[in-house]
Each structure stands twice: as C-alpha cells, then as structure tokens.
Chain A
Amino acid sequence: MAKEKLNPVPKKKITKTYIKRYWQLYVLLLLPLIYLAVFKYLPMRYIVLAFKEYKLNTPLMQMPWANVKGKTDVFKYFKTAFGNADFRRALWNTVKLNLLDLVMGFPAPIIFALILNELPFKKFKKTVQTIAYMPHFLSWVIIASLCTQLLAPTDGMINSLIVKMGGESISFLDDSAHWVATYVGAGVWQSFGWGSIIYLAAIAGINPELYEAASVDGAGRFKKMWHITLPGIKPTIVVLLIMNLGYIMGGGFERPFAMKNNLVMDVAEVISTFVYKVGIQQLKISLTTAVGLFQSVVGLFFLLSANAISRKLGERGIW
C-alpha cells in the first residue's frame, strides 16, 4: 500500500509496461490457454445434449429438446438414469470403490516416500524406487490379465500353490467381496510408486537445518518424521487429497472394465462401464451426456467443499 503512495503510477500503465516487458512470456502463456479453449471449453457446448434428443446428421442447435411423447421435459434423461436400477447400482459401486481406493491408496505413496527417505543406501534406494514406478506404465488390460493368470481359482499360480501346500483355493476373482479387495489391491500396487514421486520432491525441499536442529535436541527418527517431514509435506498432501476428492464420482474406465467378470458384476459395474455399455455402445448419446454432466457436477461439488474446508482449517487449498 505504502509503495503505491510513493509511486502513483496508474494501474493501467503498470499492466501495459508489464506486457511490453514480458510479452514473450505472455505469448507462451497463450498456448496453454488456446489448448484449454479448444479442447476443454469449446466441446463443453455439447453439454446441452443432456437436455436434448440426439439425432444423427443434425446440427446441435436443431436437435429437439428432450421430450416424452412430444411433451418437453428437459430433465428426461436425468430421470431415465436415476429411474434405472442398474445406474443406481453403478453409482453406489463407483462411490464405494473410489472411497476404498482413497482410504487404501492415498496413504500408500506417503508411507512409501517416508520409508524411502529414511533409507541409507543410495543405490538400493534408487533401485527400489525404479521398480516401484514400473507398474504405473502397465496398461490395465495387462494388469488384469496378470491378475487372472496369478489369481484364477484353479489355474492361477497363487491358488495352485496354495492348493499344493494343502490349503484351500481363495476366490480372489470370483467372489464379490474378494474381488473388491483384489481390485483395490491392484490399484494400490499400480500407483503407489509413481504417486510417491511428488512427496519425495516435497521432502527434498525441506530445510535440512531443521533435521540438524532436531538431532541436536535429541529427536529420534520417528520424532523427526512426525515433527518435521510430515508437517513439511502437509501442503502437498492437502492439495492432492482435494484433487482426489474431485474424482470420487469419476474414475477411469479401463480398470473396472478390464478387471470385471460375470460373477462379480454386482460390485464391478461402475458409472464408466455402465455409460459405455448402455450409452456409447447403444448410441444413447443424450443419456451418456446427462450421466457425465451429473458426475462432473458432483465432482466439482466435492472439490469445492474440500477446498473450502481446508482453507477454513488454515491450509492453503488449491487456489
């Protein structure tokens, strides 16, 4: 404030000088903006399909509003979706699986990063890290067939071993409850290594003097972890948690689609697979859009709430 008084240049002029001085940076900034506009904002006009009857070979604007026997009802497809028992089940499964993923999957990379950070041997640490990243690069189709090869009730390697040692085969894939565990487990296995990168980076940014001071004060490893490392990466944790909460209603398609089988569909059908089978394969574009819009709105709601709560609690949030 005091600065402005000393230097009473009008705001407009400041902006102008800034643009003049740093115009290259602004030109560069233009690129992501154009990208966002073309690929993220322009397509959004098709959201209106959720309220219209989709027709082939018809311009968007000329498609009629959703109607039931001629009577306009723009929420027809939302009602159709929520009136559909399969959709409600898919919705519930989506929330359930995503919450489990969050509870099991979110802490895993943090713990892994903490452990890695405590490892003394650099080479060993690097090797472990690289191996842990690897599953991230496997597609879910491959992970799913790995699961089948390893976990199938009789042919699977693990179950063959169990049976050979006199145990009883575990239905990893063919029983609903077990399948959920397999699904969540595979998710954690695939992502914890990759997810730890960002935490390792955050840990590297912590001032080493803090650790030295703590050592002088007589803090042990766990004390240092608890009082320095964790608080040091707390902002990162919060940001990632908020972003993850935004996905609670979403979730990918590949993973449930590749891992499902007919015996566990009561827990394996999620919104994305439902949309694929009923919406995309059967060309129910309006229904698909309505469901997608619903997912996005709920996701946005979670994101905003989480952000608001975190700011209330004194954290920075994501903006």
Chain B
Amino acid sequence: MKKKVLAVVLAAAMTISLAACGSSEPASTSTDQPAASTTTTDTAASTDTSASTDTTTVAADEPDARGLLNGKFVDTRHITVELYDRNVDGGTEAGNNAWTQWIQQQMLDRYNVEVEFVTVSRWQESDDINNLLASQTAPDICYTYNYGAIQTYANMGGVIDLAPLLEENKDLVPSMFDWLGDELVYQDLDPSAGTLWAIEGKRNEICRINTFIRKDWLDKLGLAEPTTKAEFENVLIAFRDNADTLLGADASKMVPYSISYDVGWRAATLIESFMDPNITDKEYYVNGYDDRKFTENGTKEAIRLLNKWYNDGLIWKDFAVHTGDDTTEDDMIKAGFVGAFTHNYDYPFRNGKDSINATLAAQYGDDAKFVAINCFEDKNGNYTKYSYSNSGDRKTFFPATNDEPIASLLYLEFMSQPETVEYLQIGDEGVIHTVDAATGAIVIQAPDDAHHDWFQNSGKNIDMTINCNGLRLTDPALTTLSLAFSYSDVDPADVQHAIEVAMKDAKVPATPSVGDIAAETEGTDLAGKRDQTYDKAVTASVADFDSVWDAGMAEYLAAGGQAIIDERAAAWDATYSSDMLK
C-alpha cells in the first residue's frame, strides 16, 4: 500500500512540475499575437495623428487621445527599460538601487509611468537582447551600440518605426530634440524608405584613445618622453635591455609594450598615424564599417612595424592566447611589468583605488605612474588620430512588442533633461561628489559605506543616461572644468594632460546619414576574421608577414568585406551628388 501511495504522489508531483515548466511555453505562444492585447492602444496611437493637433480643443481637465492630461498620464502606465548589468565588484544590484529607485519615483511623479528595469549582461548584451526579442519579452526601451543588430531585428519585423511616432508626438519630447538635435534624432533615417529604427545617442566627451608610458621608468633610465615612432622604439629597446635595472628579480617578466588580441583597438593610435591625414570623408566612411580600421589605407604598414617590434622582443609575446575577458594583461600592468600600452584615453585612471595608477602608486610610490604621450607621427609630422564623434553612440530602439510607445518616449524625454542627467552623473553633494575649493570643479568620489546604495555601477551612471555618454552638467563651462576631476584617487593633472594629448590633432570622424547597408546584416564573422588576421600578422615571422596579411585580407574581403565596401560607396554616391563630393 505504501508503495502505491508513494508512486502516485511521485507521479503527481512530477506531472505538476512538468506542467509548470511546460506552461511557460504555451504562455509565450499565446503572446504570439500581441495584437490581441494591444489593439486598443494601437488604435489609440494611430488616431493620434488627428488627435494631437486637436488637443487644444479638448477641455482643460480632460485627457487627450493619448491619455495625457497636462503632460501626465491619467491612468498609470507601465514600461520596461533595458539596463546593462556590469556585475561590478562591490557594486549594487544593477536593477534595484538608489539610482533606479530615484528614476522610478521621478517617472511616476512626473508622468504617472511605472518603470521596470530589465537587466542584461553588459558583455553578452546582444545575445541577451536576441533571446529577449525572440521570446517576445524584450524591454520596451532597448539600447545597443550596434546598429547592424537593430537593422537585423527591423528586417525581421521586430522593431517599431519611430518616424511616424516622433512626427505625431514631437510635442512630448522637446528636451530630446534640444539635446540631440534633428541631425542626431534622424541620423539613421533611411532616405529612400523613410523609416527610422533607432535614435542615436550623443557623446559629450569625445576623447578616445591614448598611448601611455611609465614615467618613472623613463626618469630612471634618464630618457625623455618619446615624440616619434623612432624614439618610441628606442625607448622600448631601452626598457627591454634594462629589465634588470627596472624590475630586478622579475626581469624576465618585462613587457616593453603590451597589446591584446584586439590589435585594431590596442594599436589604434599607431594604425591611425599611418593613415593618410588627408583622407576624404567618403573614403573614411566607405572603410568605416570596421571601427578597427582594418581596410584603411596604411594599416598594413602599421602592422608591419608592430610585427617587427614583436620579432624584436618588444611586444608581449603571449598576447594572442589570452582571449575574452582575461585580466592577465591588466594584472601585468598593475603589477608594474609593462612599460607602455595604448588604450582608452582614461584607462589608467578608471576604477578609483583599483585603477592602474593608484595601484602602481600604492606599490612603488607616487612617481610610479603612466602618463599619456603622443609619439606616433603621421607623414606630415602631426599626431593624427580619431576621436569619437559627438553624434552616434548608443542607439535606442523600441521593439515591436512595445505597447506603450508614448510612455516610452516620455522616458527618453526625461533622460534628455539636463537636470536629470546632472543628478544621475554627480548626485548629491557630499554623497558622490564634492566641490573643489580652489577651482570650483565638481569632484566625483565613491560613496561611503552609509551611502553605498548610491554607488555608481557604471562610471557617471552612463548605463542609465541612455542617450548621453560623458559628463553633462547643466553648466557647460563647469562640465569642461570638472572633466579632469571626475576620477577618484588619481591626480587630476594627469587626467587633464591625458585629455590634451588625446585631443592633439584629433580628427572627428564624419557620421553621414546614407541609409541602411544591407550587406552589413549578412551573417559572417567579419570581426573574427579581422582579429585573426591582425594577430597572425603581428606574430608572423618578418619574412611571412606579407603573405599572412594578404591572405587574411583576401579572406575578409571575400567573406563580405568587399560587399560592404561596395554598398557603402554606392550609398554615399547616391546621397551626395558628385559635385558635393569632398
């Protein structure tokens, strides 16, 4: 009898649990027809065209056709918003902390809109968003750096066309238009189809990349800061040959110049110095699919130089076998084994006490630090390099499952207001910033333990200010002044110097608006081919360099690189008539 009961209980429990698991599937298929639940709002939205112009005739205490009364929803709306989760050591819960609660409260007070954050891993964001879109559970407001991905979603019917939505509701988003301008809002407008799948964000700091060198090593060896490639090479040789002096027992760990498997990024200043400084906007755009400058004129010669350095023992030998999020290189730099490297213009200053410069100072004294240098001259003797463009950063889009497009627009409006951004970036005085007594600059600091919930999981809460990347205070002059003070635990003078070095002879890339490039949504692993060629070419023997590079380039072009170049050239020509060609 006991056995019988047990069998029945087990069977029942299992069946129920299976049913519970299985039910998630039918549930998602039932949302296959989002139309059913959203028809009402859809029709409401589509009648907006006429309604929004009529709003003046509506009585003052009646909501308009969009459900808004004095810019606030009469009945509470609910939207979901994507937020990167960086899984920061010592950080707070990405989707639930003082900042997200502040946003939620503000949105509710101002617009009667409930905001729910959907966190996706920063480093697998595109995989996560793919899955969320495929399962029709994507947040109402999504953002990504990758326009090609949005285009792919749009081709599959997964994205709302923002052009008509903005036209009908322009009155709701004045701050967004103020902040981004028509140029940015409509940058991705397809000139022929008239569709707008995404709204570009804006960068408020355009410094991009710098080369850094150990100042204390230069001093120890009595060397000046290098100002040309030849001088830089000599410094690297001096580092290599004086490893015993500089590192003592650890001499074998000496790495004069370190790069990573991502050569196109980690040698960007070198590559850009080999490009023609007089390159036309068209040529730059045509080769611009690849932000690693792979197909640019001159890149091969830059890599040839790296290849020579590699074979001369000036570059970290093992760079290519450490992939992905491997922190080996960072650890080497922090341990003090590396003489020079190229990276984000503020890389040694990031992360407060854990920053590279703060770590070095703690071990070897305040003199031990990396400083930014300009040492890769172009053919005219200038330090041509590319900064970021103001226009074009993260792109915001609304998936087709968004049934609150108007409430979502209001969120963008809220995020574009200068006061919102300022508060998210610098918060309350005494909590995450102080005011520098001498200069009046805003100095950002980490919150103390009592205010740990105000910890910024991303620098200046960049992940929350979705259409603003970079310090943006309500007072532009104060913004400029405070830039160098926005890193805790490092010397602001070093930051200021790095900013100046990064902006010396920096060119702002043109961001033309020529419509979608279909070839960029073809599924090929071009980035992989690019990195493989970069890595193989750097590590090849000097004699094999040409054949390795040429074979890799041919494969890249054949796999779709050439198709993109051709289509970009055609799109450019179609948009800008021949007489406008620069």
Contacts and interface: CB of A to CB of B under 8 A. Distances in A.
Contact of A282 (B152, B253, B321, B534): B152
Interface stretch (B2-10, B183-191, B480-488): B2-10
B525 interface: yes
A169 to B, nearest CB: 9
A57 B539 contact: no
B157 A58 contact: yes
Of the listed residues A84, A152, A260, A263, the one surrounded by the most CB atoms of chain B closer than 10 A to its CB is: A263
Contacts of B49: none
Given A56-B134, A152-B318, A280-B130, A174 B539 contact: yes
Contacts of B534: 262
A287 B25 CA distance: 23
Given A152-B322, A261-B261, A38 B158 contact: no
B320 A55 contact: no
Q: Main secondary structure on chain B at its contact with chain A?
A: helix
A198 to B, nearest CB: 27
A278 B320 contact: no
Contacts of B261: 261-262
B15 A86 contact: no
A160 B401 CA distance: 56
A232 interface: no
B523 interface: yes
Contacts of B29: 59
B391 to A, nearest CB: 25
Contacts of A55: 156-157
Contact of B152 (A30, A31, A283): A283
Interface string A275-298: 001111111110100000000000
A257 B253 CA distance: 28
Interface residues of A, number: 45
B259 to A, nearest CB: 12
Contacts of A154: 317-318
Given A57-B32, A263-B539, A281-B126, A287 B523 contact: yes
B3 A57 contact: no
B11 A31 contact: yes
A135 interface: no
Contacts of B25: 42
Of the listed residues A24, A54, A84, A274, the one surrounded by the most CB atoms of chain B closer than 10 A to its CB is: A24
B130 to A, nearest CB: 5
Nearest to B156: A56
Nearest to B12: A27
A174 B310 CA distance: 15
A219 interface: no
Given A59-B29, A262-B261, A38 B21 contact: yes
A66 to B, nearest CB: 14
Contacts of A54: 156
Nearest to B332: A155
A148 interface: yes
A283 B22 contact: no
Interface in B392-410: 400-401
A152 B321 contact: yes
B35 to A, nearest CB: 9
Contact of A261 (B133, B158, B323): B323
Given A57-B32, A262-B531, A283 B156 contact: yes
B7 A57 contact: no
Interface in A219-250: none
B8 A27 contact: yes
B524 interface: yes
A216 interface: no
Nearest to A155: B318
Interface in B517-563: 521, 523-525, 528, 531-532, 534-536, 539, 558-559
A85 B559 contact: yes
Q: Main secondary structure on chain A at its contact with chain B?
A: helix
A54 B133 CA distance: 12
B182 interface: no
A35 interface: yes
Contact of B158 (A24, A57, A277): A57
Given A152-B322, A263-B536, A31 B14 contact: yes
A28 interface: yes
B523 A278 contact: yes
Nearest to A259: B323
Contacts of A155: 253, 318, 328
A84 B560 CA distance: 11
A206 interface: no
A56 B157 contact: yes
A113 interface: no
Interface string B232-260: 00000000000000000000110000000
Contacts of A86: 524-525, 559
B326 interface: yes
Contact of A153 (B133, B321, B323): B321
A54 B130 CA distance: 13
Nearest to A266: B532
A283 B130 contact: yes
A278 B401 contact: no
B153 A35 contact: no
A34 interface: yes
B154 to A, nearest CB: 9
A34 B16 CA distance: 11
A93 B528 CA distance: 17
Interface string A17-34: 000000011011011001
Contacts of B365: none
B322 A148 contact: yes
A281 B321 contact: no
B159 to A, nearest CB: 8
B33 interface: yes
Contacts of B428: none
B320 A262 contact: yes
Nearest to B555: A85
A50 interface: no
B528 A265 contact: yes
A38 B22 contact: yes
Contacts of B18: 31, 34-35, 38
B539 A56 contact: no
5 contacts: A56-B133, A56-B134, A148-B322, A160-B252, A282-B149
Interface of A: 24-25, 27-28, 30-31, 34-35, 38, 42, 54-59, 84-86, 145, 148, 152-156, 160, 173-174, 260-263, 265, 274, 277-285, 287
6 closest cross-chain pairs (CB), A and B: A56-B158, A262-B535, A24-B7, A284-B523, A154-B317, A278-B523
Given A34-B18, A86-B525, 4 more contacts: A31-B15, A57-B401, A280-B130, A282-B152
